[in-house]
Amino acid sequence: MTVFFENIELSEELHKPTRKLWDIYYKTTLEKYIYEKREIVKELNRYGITTILTSPENLTVDSVNKYLEIKSRGLL
């Protein structure tokens, strides 16, 4: 199982008001980074690699849920 962490601080930056042109560039770059990370997770799943994209505080819950999902499908 591969675990990817969401960067909560970057996600919070997206919700701040945009005041300058630089802010637009910055937010666009953040959105691209977040999108690419989600695409990596999808691609790994397509190849059968179990992945979790989670925030650090939800790691335990998401890991246990993924384990139960794998167990219920009989993959273990």
DSSP string, the chain: -EEEE--HHHHHHTTSPP-SHHHHHHHHHHHHHHHHHHHHHHHHHHTT--EEEE-GGGHHHHHHHHHHHHHHTT--
Question: How far apart are the C-alpha atoms of 63 and 48, rounded to whole Å?
Answer: 17
Q: How many domains does the chain have?
A: 1
At 63, list the tokens.
Answer: 């890991």
Read off the tokens for 44.
């790994």
Domain that holds residue 30: 2-72
Global pTM exceeds 0.85 = no
Tens of pLDDT along 2-59?
999 998 888 888 888 888 999 899 999 999 999 999 999 999 999 989 999 999 999 9
pLDDT confidence of 75, banded at 50, 70, 90?
Answer: confident
